[in-house]
Structure 1
Amino acid sequence: MIALTGYTGFVGQHLLELLNTTDCLLLGRNTLANYSRFYEFDLSQTNDLDLVSKLSKVDVLVHIAARVHIMNDDSTDPLAEFRAINTDSTLNLAKQAAQAGVKRFIFVSSIKVNGESTTDRPPFTANENPAPEDPYGLSKAEAEQQLLELGKQTGMEIVIIRPPLVYGEGVKANFASLMRFVGKGLPLPFRSIKSNKRSLVSVYNLVDLIKTCIEHPKAANQVFLTSDDYDLSTAEIVALMAKVQGKKNLALPVPVWCFGLVGKLLNKSDVIDRLTGSLQLDITHTKNTLDWAPPYSVEHGFKLAAKKP
């Protein structure tokens, strides 16, 4: 049996659809129609004997629930809040899973564990030392380290997956906003941002990888990076968004140096770096270890991401 957290979220909903089974134990605050196996669960719970009992029949626990990255976090202590959910609560859940005899714990982490940018350097790999630069990435990195140590102590198999930006039907935040702007035919100033490269992953490729990690014996105790294995420049992203929506690409050729200047003037250089810089993932280890390749094209994911709610 599979147990799943984060099943009401973007990735969790798509994973449930792919698994195509009601024989999952859902751990969360709200049950779903057609799912009789449900345990009301809060990530902050510890030493929950009822949860341990429920997990005793579980083979694999997929942990997706998290406090997600927030662009403009106004928390008094963002790191403490990220650690409480993404680090401490993750470890608490994993300890209870190990106590119950769960064989494999799959943790959906983030490429932010590796860092923020690959501009002027090779793509990130799974075996390099973590270099998180913000509280979210640090909380995920600390969770990974503690999970791997717990796995060594208990024998529970740990699988870590680090995705970059995830998109697809139902995506929100910046990707959805940009898709809407392009769909409205607005002349966005991104045509000249064509020398950078960004790795993305459609939710369909991500959940396919998670399903593979549930089943594949060689996934045990591994860290996997994932992407669509087809990187795009910002200009190419905008052009593809226009194409899948049947719109003309009206992007304007504003020189890239102008963005850098605006970033410095507004003290938003980090935002500009994400727009004009590169963030690439090398998924060779994932493909070779699991004999896996992303089954869906970038265009497939963009088309579905463009669907109106």
Structure 2
Amino acid sequence: MIKTLLFGSNGFLGSHLQSKLDGEIIGVNIRHQNWQENIPGDANVFINCIGKAHDHKGTATEKDFYFANYELVKVIFEEFLKSNAQIFIHISSIAAVEENERKELLTEDSVGNPQSHYGKSKKAAEEYLLKQSLPSWKKLFILRPTMIHGEGDKGNLTLLYKIISKGIPYPLGAFDNSRTFVSVDNLVFLINKIFENRDSINSGIYNVADDEPVSTSNLIRIMAQVNQKNPLIVSVPKVVVTFLAKIGDTFKLPFNSKRLSKMTTTLLVSNQKIKTALKLKELPLSAEEGLIKTISSFKTQL
């Protein structure tokens, strides 16, 4: 049976991994003194999903991001090298490549263009890991998920749902965009498949995304459908929306330029490399099925 050490088990993704991954899952809290001494000698896998992403209050510093997303990665990976574990899975982010808008389909070979401390610190961690020498019997998998959603999500989808569920018209109809998401269930499925195929899959970077992109207008339709309402989409002029987002930047409001970008820009990501490596034709949940499951969970958690 696979025994996995999970770093970051209390976060959104970590909690899903803790309950859904195959085998025995042991959460490791690196805040505990001498945590390294409690690493079991028979652990097979290290998974690192510690990270700092959201900073809606705008109070986090560059040092905060690099500590969580880079410095801690080095500490955990060094323990992996000392251990008997065979697999290290690092949860990175597509933000290490692109955070805003990219018209062409992103692959693992796309040139990175991170802009924020978050994206740059994620990229730095990837570069560090790829430079390390691995014994022939150990493997490293860097997973780059797109925007992850699922039960317990408190990100941009939740904010958007709050607007739609109250019957407030969606004001961003003037923006025509499409983005690739990933449901947490599809992400867990892929990690379990890595476990199953650990002898045949090669180390490296793998994008993790749903099979299909979703336009924002379709996302609004799904939210309205879950609430059994007709979608109300209003095309407020882009210049007005952009101005309101800048006001949000100034006064630290939930609606700001960063969130506007996430909700209105196009970012398409290919998951073909990991599906080919795992001999998969498609993921268990379509993009729409995953979103319906997530949005349905909002009805009970909000």
TM-score range for the pair, normalised by the shorter chain length: 0.7 to 0.9
Cα deviation, 1:12-38, whole Å, max 9, x if unaligned, reads 2222322254x222212xxxxxxxxxx
Matches of residues 251-290 of structure 1 in structure 2 within 5 Å?
A: 251-256=233-238, 258-260=240-242, 270-290=258-278
CA contact (8 A) 2:94 2:146 kept: yes
Corresponding residue for residue 303 of structure 1: 292
Residues 79 and 155 (structure 1), Cα distance of their counterparts in 2 relative to 1, 3 Å cut: farther
> What aligned pairs does 1:107-186 form with structure 2 within 5 A after superposition?
107-119=90-102, 121-152=103-134, 156-186=138-168
Confirm or deny that 1:27 pairs with 2:1: no
Residue 249 of structure 2 corresponds to residue 242 of structure 1: no
Indicate how the Cα distance of structure 1 residues 230 and 156 shifts in structure 2: closer, same or farther if over 3 A, else same. same
Does the 8 Å CA contact 1:159/1:213 hold for their aligned counterparts? no
Mapped to 2, the partners of 1:227 and 1:235 lie a distance apart of 19
Q: Does 1:213 align with 2:194?
A: yes
The answer on whether the counterparts of 1:200 and 1:227 sit within 8 Å (CA) in structure 2 is: yes
Q: In 2, are the aligned partners of 1:115 and 1:132 still within 8 Å (CA)?
A: yes
3-state secondary structure, aligned to 1:237: helix
Q: Are 2:5 and 2:43, in contact at CA under 8 Å, matched by a contact in 1?
A: yes
Of 77, 82, 92, 1:94 maps to 77
Structure 1 residue 151: deviation in Å? 4.1
Is residue 180 of structure 2 the alignment partner of residue 199 of structure 1?
yes
Report if the CA contact (8 A) 1:244-1:299 is conserved: no
Contact 1:104 1:220 in 2 (8 A): no
1:238-296 residue CA offsets vs partner (Å, 9 max, x unmatched) = 11111122121112233445534655787765544333221110112122122233211
Q: Which residue of 2 aligns with 1:32?
A: none
Counterpart Cα distance in 1 of 2:206 and 2:246? 35
For residue 169 of structure 1, report the CA deviation from its aligned partner. 1.3
| Distance (Å, rounded) in 1 between the aligned partners of 2:133 and 2:184 | 27
* Whole-Å separation in 2 of the counterparts to 1:80 and 1:220: 33
With structure 2 as the length reference, what TM-score do the two structures score? Answer: 0.85
Match of 1:233 among 215, 221, 233: 215
Specify whether residues 288 and 101 from structure 1 end up closer, same or farther in structure 2 by C-alpha distance, changes over 3 A only: same
Rounded Cα–Cα distance in structure 1 between residues aligned with 2:155 and 2:36: 38
Alignment pair present for 1:42 and 2:24: no
Counterpart AA for 1:158: L
Give % identity.
26
Change (3 A) 1:266 1:73: closer
Which structure 1 residue ranges, 5 or more long, are not aligned? 29-40
Q: 2:8 maps to what in 1?
A: 6
Q: Classify the secondary structure of the residue corresponding to 2:105.
A: coil
1:61 is matched with: 46
Comparing 103-112 with 238-247, which one deviates more in the overlay? 238-247
Contact 1:59 1:102 in 2 (8 A): yes
Amino acid at match of 2:37: D
Q: Is the 8 A contact 1:5 1:64 kept in 2?
A: yes
Q: Is the 8 A contact 1:190 1:254 kept in 2?
A: yes
Judge conservation of contact 2:94–2:144 (CA < 8 Å) in 1: yes
Cα separation, 2, equivalents of 1:7 and 1:210 = 15
The CA RMSD measured in Å over matched residues stands at: 2.5
Find the residue that maps to 2:268 and give its secondary structure: coil
